[in-house]
Amino acid sequence: MGINKDYLGRTFPATAPYEVSRVKIAEFAEAIGDPNPVFRDRAAAQAAGYPDVIAPPTFAIVVAMAASGKAVADPGLGLNYAMVVHGEQRFEYSRPLHAGDVVTAQSAISGIREVGSITMLTTETEIRTVDGEHVCTGISTLVERAEA
Amino acid sequence: MSGPVSYADVAQGAELPAATYPVTRLSLVKYCGASGDFNIIHWNERIARSVGLPNVIAHGMFTMAQAGRYVTDWAGDAGALVEFGVRFSAPVVVPDDDMGATIEVSGTVEEKLDGNRVVLGLTARCGGAKVLTRARAVVRLP
């Protein structure tokens, strides 16, 4: 069972709207061990020029994975998730996510490569506000190792 | 936390001081919950070993988050990133002890671009292995 190359270029439906909350941002900042007050304290974020607390840069993965996770778990794609590791990750930001943002994420499969016994799958996920403003694009490459 | 670094004060080729960040089993449990990524290799040693890993490993995104913190702490603005990319070149292995593992991040100012943008080249190491390669951040400075 190899990967289904017909999925190259396929775009998946956008996620339901996700509301970025102060509590979730603070929980994420605590989990990565980053004490920066702009992730927790609205006044500190406003003093730095933001409308509300902002999210750490890699918080975008939480929103992106809701979309890309569905794409890579599509049974027709044929990826064996148990053998998958994260190979590469890239983000392009228009601005940081902040509390109060309501965003959707939409993923497309932008690359499928087989190198020897491993398969590399690249997804490109756009995060936009429900008003259509681009916030961030996440490009993830997953590597499926061969079965031992 | 001091104010943002200014573009004019940044010298191409400058090396930034290295910083270290601890990662323990508790960090990974917290990160599972906060990120929603409950992949079993990040919390179950039995399964991690059964799929050929040396032990439980950190989420790649946890390591990337430490590199992100390194950049935003240096820039003095947690919202300064324009681009941020890494390759996960080796796993961060996290033993079941009180010390866990230590991720060391260092960086260099690779290039100054127009629009007040600065390109940083980053390296992250753990236990002698390079855990991030081709790690690059572009920040916009005042």
Smallest Cβ–Cβ distance between B79 and the set A82, A83, A95 belongs to A95
A84 forms beta bridges with: A144
In a domain, residue A43? The reply is no
Smallest Cβ–Cβ distance between A34 and the set B69, B77, B81 belongs to B69
Task: Residue A139: give the domain boundaries.
Answer: 5-20+55-144
> Cβ separation of B79 and A54 shorter than 8 Å?
yes
Number of domains comprising chain A: 1
Q: What are the CB-based long-range contacts (under 8 Å, 24+) for A123-128?
A: A123/A68, A123/A71, A123/A72, A125/A64, A125/A67, A125/A68, A127/A60, A127/A63, A127/A64, A127/A97, A127/A103, A128/A103, A128/A104
B1: pLDDT strictly greater than 70: no
A32-67: per-residue pLDDT in tens?
999 999 999 999 999 999 999 999 999 999 999 999
What's the rounded mean pLDDT across residues B64-71? 98
Which residues of chain B have a CB within 8 Å of the CB of A138? Answer: none
Query: What integer best gives the mean pLDDT of chain B?
Result: 96
pTM, two decimal places: 0.96
A146: pLDDT strictly greater than 80: no
> Cβ separation of B60 and A38 shorter than 8 Å?
no
CATH for A112: 3.10.129.10
ipTM: 0.96
pLDDT at B98: 87
What's the rounded mean pLDDT across residues B44-57? 93
Q: Quick check: A46 and A37 in contact, CB under 8 A?
A: no
A148: pLDDT strictly greater than 60: no
Alpha-carbon gap, residue B48 to B41, rounded angstroms: 5
A100 alpha-carbon distance from chain centroid: 18
Alpha-carbon gap, residue B82 to B118, rounded angstroms: 10
Smallest Cβ–Cβ distance between B88 and the set A27, A31, A86 belongs to A86
What is the token pair recorded at B102? 């230590």
Q: If you measure CA to CA, which chain A residue comes closest to B4? A: A48
For chain B, give every domain's residue range.
7-22+58-140
Contact residues of A toward B, CB < 8 A: 24, 27-28, 30-34, 36-39, 48, 50, 54, 56-58, 61-62, 65, 82-83, 85-93, 95-96, 139, 148
Which residues of chain B have a CB within 8 Å of the CB of A95? Answer: 79
Q: What percent of chain B has pLDDT over 70?
A: 99
Q: What percent of chain B has pLDDT over 90?
A: 94
Q: Which residues contact B109 (CB under 8 A, 6 or more apart)?
A: B10, B11, B12, B13, B14, B15, B16, B118, B119, B120
Domain B7-22+58-140 coded CATH 3.10.129.10? yes
pLDDT at A147: 65
Q: Quick check: B47 and B40 in contact, CB under 8 A?
A: yes
